[in-house]
Chain A
Amino acid sequence: MSLRVDIRKRYKGFTLEVGFENGDGTLGILGASGSGKSLTLKCIAGLESPDEGVIVFNGRTLFDSAARIDLAPRERNVGYLFQNYALFPHMTVWENIAIAIRGRRAKDKAATVSALLERYGLAGFGDRYPAKLSGGQQQRVALARIFAYEPGILMLDEPFSALDAFLRENMQIELLRIISEYDGDVLLVTHSRDEVYRICDNLLIMDGGRIDTRGETKAVFADPGNVRAARITGCKNTSRIRKLSEHRLLATDWGMELETTRAIAADHTHIGVRAHDFSVTRGKGAGVQNEIAVSAEHAVEGPFDKTVLFRVADDADRAREIIRWICDRNEDIANVRRLFLDGDDILLLRGGSERDK
């Protein structure tokens, strides 16, 4: 299984310019809304035509502007799960699934539909209309419909955004199971870092129509490389730095000196610290430990944790940037005077991104 995409499409004030290849595994495209991630999927599906470039899937050219190849969506063999599932409202669940069956399986359509209904936990729902189903059921119908079509690639466009938190969790687990049983490629577009982390092996981060960062998902989360990627992978604290020595830096926005485990390079202009990585106790790891004198300003209690906003302790005129720390909600922040930060947990970042090089 392989997918190669290298396309450009210009609009007024927005240019989509993406190039990537995906071998095995699930590829996640993470980006804020308007970053061009859905548009990329639509170009692959053939619902939008790029101005120029090539799209090749498993050796078959779907689009090639130079050779004037632009296959119609139905010739591309792609499955597209729409954000709102796009079930046909005038058809029953059964008809919705049956309409996508083609080729050799058309002979025993009834048996195929029954098997799909069974498999996606929809047995007995065949004669219902989509409007009478819950969000989770609708999504399962949409998935069953796509698999009735037997696509070579499955593209999921913000698949969980229309579900409530409880269902979302369940469907994510279910989708992982479905993907593991599916032998085609999977592309997941989302703005949720949790979804990407749970589901995708590899990751692209898109910003303003371009690819910002790419890599293996866990590696990108561990070392995002630049400020934008750090923020989108959920890093809540970033600061500009001044390098003091190979392992020592001054975080200028925060007004504190920190020691890092990794060597600081000349082009590292920022650092990031995830809000979970501060601790009230000295870490047990062998890495360098930074002890920071802090004064907590404000705390916002969530259902399971607490977000504490703090500054360095000697910041009398409050000129420094606020830092976020997410801690256990039982933490008594009034008595917290210092926090520890493992040198391993400091993300060394470049201000620009991959494409600026």
Chain B
Amino acid sequence: MAYAVCRAKNNILRTVLDAFLTLPLVLPPTVAGFFLLYIFGVYRPIGSLLARMGVKLVFSWQATVLAATVIALPLMYRSAKAAFTQVDPLLLQAARTLGLSETAIVFRILFPLASPGLMSGGILAFSRGLGEFGATAMIAGNIAGVTRTMPLAIYSSVSGGRMEEAYRYVIVLVLISFLFVCVLNFVSDARSKKYRPDDRRRT
């Protein structure tokens, strides 16, 4: 998606698309949740269409996925965009003169070169999705065993005075996030070290 926006030739279209994709990042999550509810509500066109197909999205576990995705998307999108624009355009030109097709250029040159940025975007988006609260509460509610995500569970525990339970959730959440970030940092480091100039050999 980010690649498509980067390549869009029309300036106005690019700006509008860019703003649209970034919007969930700057809006309060509850507003984003409100819009989702507005779009996918059972009495709305899209929502009722889905309902007729037997899919009731609102207040289901799928709704938590939808909320997390919409909220995390801008982080992924912006990191990917930055990663793509940082790839030296000369390398892409060189690839073109060497007879590579546009598809080959995207998969063999652009993606590998942008991969550190894509990965860090992935880390950010994942962590953000994991911690998503506001939009989830709006569109999926807080139904135990169905739509109660960890951040919501923590909220319920604390408001119900069950601090022990809250501690356990917090520890799990912190550990998962921490591990995830560490692993991905490690991976992207190892990848980029391979083709960065070796300082000792530089004179």
Contacts and interface: CB of A to CB of B under 8 A. Distances in A.
Given A99-B98, A102-B99, A86 B90 contact: yes
Interface in B86-111: 88, 90-91, 93-101, 108-109
Contacts, number: 65
Given A129-B194, A132-B201, A90 B112 contact: yes
A121 to B, nearest CB: 19
A79 B95 CA distance: 11
Given A82-B90, A86-B90, A99-B108, A74 B97 contact: yes
Contact of B198 (A73, A100, A132): A132
B97 A129 contact: no
B22 to A, nearest CB: 29
Interface string A16-58: 0000000000000000000000000010011100000000000
A129 B195 contact: yes
B145 interface: no
B196 interface: yes
B98 A149 contact: yes
A73 B92 CA distance: 11
Nearest to B94: A86
Place the interface of chain A in its size category.
20 to 34
Nearest to B109: A88
A78 interface: yes
A47 B96 contact: yes
B197 interface: yes
Contacts of A80: 93-94, 97
Contacts of B196: 131
A161 to B, nearest CB: 14
Query: Which of A88, A99, A146 has its CB near the most chain B CB atoms (within 10 A)?
Result: A88
Given A82-B94, A89-B113, A131-B195, A99 B100 contact: yes
Contact of B101 (A74, A86, A131, A149): A74
Nearest to B93: A47
B7 to A, nearest CB: 15
Contact of A90 (B95, B97, B113, B197): B113
A102 B98 CA distance: 9
A47 B198 CA distance: 32
A73 B96 contact: yes
B90 A130 contact: no
Nearest to A148: B98
11 contacts: A45-B97, A72-B96, A78-B97, A86-B91, A88-B109, A100-B98, A100-B99, A102-B99, A132-B201, A145-B98, A146-B98
Given A73-B96, A74-B99, A89-B91, 14 more contacts: A45-B97, A46-B97, A72-B96, A74-B96, A74-B98, A84-B90, A88-B94, A88-B95, A88-B113, A90-B112, A99-B98, A100-B99, A102-B99, A130-B195
